[in-house]
Amino acid sequence: MSGSLLIRNARVDGRLCEIRIEAGVIVEIGTGLRGQMPMLDAKGGALLPGLIDHHIHLLATAAEANSLTVNTDTDFAAALRERDHTLAPDLDLRVTGYHDSFHGPLDAARLDALVSGRRVRVQYRTGSLWVLNSKALAVALRDGDIPDCVERNADGVPTGRIWRGDEWLRSRFSASPPSLAAIGRALARQGVTHVTDASASTSDETAALFASAMARNDLRQHLMLMSAYPLSRPANAPWRLGPVKILLDDHALPPLETVMEIVADARRQKRCVAVHCVTAGELAMALAGFDAMGSQPGDRIEHGGIITSEAVAEIKRLDLTVVTQPGFIAERGDHYLREVEPSDHVNLYRCASLIAAGIKTGGSTDAPYTRPDIWAAIAAAIHRTTADGKVLGAGECLSPPRALALFQTDLADPGGTPRRIAVGAPADLALLRDSFDAILVNGFAEPVVATVVAGNIVWGEDRLG
């Protein structure tokens, strides 16, 4: 890994030029540059600062590749039986994307009626609830302890429903963690050079797993890690320590004092705070917590699923950053139009109005909860078109350069100043097959032909001369 590269015929801010990179840093931009180093011919394509996904769940996205994913149109019972017949007998059946409003209420008894011969775990698409069949539940409860996340009926019998129990479930089902190679490669292919893993459950063990995936080059992107708990970062760790993640859940909001204690503890760790706020109630709790404890630059609202105009003003007053996911509008917009109060439609996944209010606004996919496709997220930020072709929140659409900029700021500064291609800047770059304007016209399918991280080509090796 030399981190040295000469890029020729690249279009930077509309101008054709050459870029010389040494030890992972851009050292010269001009014409007629020379150097004994690998050479990449950009063939006139636009060279951009590499893209950043400010909120993704890497392990869950990797695991999802091995799962059955159901969506609004899936016949759940038929799909589950079909997968049960085709899956090797010794494997667990894992399902994601479930939602009551499409597939009906779910508990262990209903799952048992569909599949009883193997362990089945079904994750709701909100990410907050898992439902296990009896066989899986028996394994999870094998020691006889029943933790609080396990829902019980009036007789005290577990229903199979597990609320916010990811970490506990992981400890009960000791499957080896999924490889990050495929997701790392998929991100590189999209021009993604940086990611923030926003999982609350990240532990020292998970962090070590990420570090070894990076050492093996399974994951080539720069990485920042959030976590609910303190993480001890070894001096040579390849990842950056991110904010403390607070998961709020309308279903069981904690007392304000608890939120305040977590914020105080984050400050002791010298970390910012990022609060999961999809609903208005979760946001109100987060804002009350920041108001009571004081906010600091870098504190974040994740998602901002519903932000009223009063809350916009409060977020601005507290100088908080919002990290949004335009992809939810594209993938779930039709569902929101049916299920969300019409008066709240203007408050769904705001974008342009946050920026207009002077609120730092960063972009992300929240994969696997939307597809891990950053260009689909950029397109959604521009068009806000649902699967049925309706536009949801036309006033929140961004111009194409502004939509791109959601994904181009520093890892620690979503919504801040977009990174630029300049001498002295780290060589984390995405090369498009054409100019950005031409790609806007011709569509976002596979727009990236090469990706450079710290001066090394991680996608598009075939372009090396």
Name which of 271, 250, 273, 378 is nearest 326 in CA terms: 378
Minimum CB separation of residue 162 from Zn ion in Å reads: 18
The DSSP call for residue 254 is P
Distance (Å, rounded) from C-alpha 361 to C-alpha 413? 9
Build a one-symbol-per-residue string for 360-389: x at contacts with Zn ion by CB under 5 A, - elsewhere. ------x-----------------------
Smaller CB distance to Zn ion: residue 60 or 132?
Answer: 60
Smaller CB distance to Zn ion: residue 198 or 273?
Answer: 198
Smaller CB distance to Zn ion: residue 198 or 430?
Answer: 198
User: What residues from 309 to 368 belong to the interface with Zn ion (CB under 5 A)?
Assistant: 366
Q: Which residues contact 19 (CB under 8 A, 6 or more apart)?
A: 6, 7, 10, 12, 26, 28, 29, 33, 47, 421, 427
Of the ranges 198-206, 259-267, 380-388, 400-408, which one interacts with Zn ion (CB under 5 A)? 198-206
Contact present, 170 and 201 (Cβ < 8 Å)? yes
The DSSP call for residue 462 is G
Minimum CB separation of residue 420 from Zn ion in Å reads: 28
Distance (Å, rounded) from C-alpha 306 to C-alpha 359? 15
Contact present, 382 and 400 (Cβ < 8 Å)? yes
Smaller CB distance to Zn ion: residue 64 or 366?
Answer: 366
Q: Which residues contact 239 (CB under 8 A, 6 or more apart)?
A: 207, 210, 211, 214, 223, 224, 225, 233
Minimum CB separation of residue 422 from Zn ion in Å reads: 32
Instruction: Identify each DSSP E strand in 401-446 by its residue range.
Output: 429-432
Q: Hunting for tokens 């009063």 — which residue is that?
A: 310
Of the ranges 197-205, 217-225, 321-329, 356-364, which one interacts with Zn ion (CB under 5 A)? 197-205
Minimum CB separation of residue 326 from Zn ion in Å reads: 14
Minimum CB separation of residue 323 from Zn ion in Å reads: 9
Is 249 among the residues that bind Zn ion (CB under 5 A)?
no
Of the ranges 190-198, 318-326, 340-348, 383-391, which one interacts with Zn ion (CB under 5 A)? 190-198
Contact present, 169 and 197 (Cβ < 8 Å)? no
The site that binds Zn ion (CB under 5 A) totals a number of residues, namely 2
Residue facing Zn ion at closest CB distance? 366
User: What residues from 70 to 109 belong to the interface with Zn ion (CB under 5 A)?
Assistant: none
Distance (Å, rounded) from C-alpha 225 to C-alpha 83? 34
Q: Which two tokens stand for residue 363?
A: 């972009």
Amino acid at 72: T
Minimum CB separation of residue 60 from Zn ion in Å reads: 9
Smaller CB distance to Zn ion: residue 11 or 125?
Answer: 125
Smaller CB distance to Zn ion: residue 18 or 366?
Answer: 366
Minimum CB separation of residue 247 from Zn ion in Å reads: 9
**Which stretches of the chain bind Zn ion, using CB under 5 A?**
198, 366
